[in-house]
Chains A and B, each alone.
Chain A
Amino acid sequence: EAGVAQSPRYKIIEKRQSVAFWCNPISGHATLYWYQQILGQGPKLLIQFQNNGVVDDSQLPKDRFSAERLKGVDSTLKIQPAKLEDSAVYLCASSLGGASGAGETQYFGPGTRLLVL
C-alpha cells in the first residue's frame, strides 16, 4: 500500500514570495490533515479536511495561508506571501475517516521542508 505522498520535498524562497505544497493521501482515506512543525516543536494542526469539506481550520493563518481539497483526494496548501517565521516542515497526514478524527491513527507523509530567506 502506497503511503502519503508530498511534493516538493524541499523549497527555498524569499520572503513575500508565494509557495504551494501538494499532498496525495493514502487511497481510501477520507480525512486529510496539514501540520506545521517548527524545529524543536511538535506538529501544529493547520487544517483538517473530511472528504472535500473543512472540519477544523481554527489555527490556519487565513490572511496568508489557504488550502483546498476540491475532489476529496489530493490537497494543496498555499502560503502567500511568505514570512521568515513560516520556515518549517509542512506535514500532510491522512486517516480512514470519522468526522472528528477521534481515536484514528494518522499516517504522515515525508513532509516539505520550507526555508524562507
Chain B
Amino acid sequence: GQNIDQPTEMTATEGAIVQINCTYQTSGFNGLFWYQQHAGEAPTFLSYNVLDGLEEKGRFSSFLSRSKGYSYLLLKELQMKDSASYLCAGRLDFGAGTTVTVRA
C-alpha cells in the first residue's frame, strides 16, 4: 500500500497562497493524484503527477519528488470557493484530506 500523510487542516486569507504537503510510501508507485472535495460532495479531479517536477493548471499547481516520496499542491490567489478538503491519493489509496478554510 501507499500510506499517505497530509496535514489535517490549514487556514489562509483570500488572495493568499497555500501549500498542502503530502508524503507517501514509494512501494508500487504509479503516480499521485490530487482531488478537491467540497463538504457534502464527491471528490473531483485536480491534478495527476507521475514524473518529477511541477505541473501548473491555472491557479493550482502540483509538485512531485519520487525519490523523496513527497508531493505538494499549491493554491494561488485563494478564493472563498476554494474552501474544501484536498485529498492526496496514490493508485487507489487516499489520504484523510486537508481541510482548507479561506477567510476574507
Chain A residues with a Cβ under 8 A of chain B: 33, 35, 40-45, 48, 56, 91, 100-103, 105-111
Contacts and interface: CB of A to CB of B under 8 A. Distances in A.
A103 B44 contact: no
B96 interface: yes
A101 B91 contact: yes
Interface of B: 4, 30-31, 33, 41-45, 48, 50, 87, 89, 91-97
Nearest to B97: A42
User: Which of A40, A42, A91, A103 has most B Cβ within 10 Å?
Assistant: A42
A103 B92 contact: no
Contacts, number: 45
B89 A42 contact: yes
B93 A45 contact: yes
Contact of A105 (B4, B45, B87): B45
B20 to A, nearest CB: 13
Contact of A103 (B4, B30, B45): B30
Contacts of B43: 43, 91, 108
B91 A102 contact: yes
B91 A105 contact: no
Nearest to A4: B42
Given A41-B96, A42-B97, A103-B48, A109 B91 contact: no
A56 B92 contact: yes
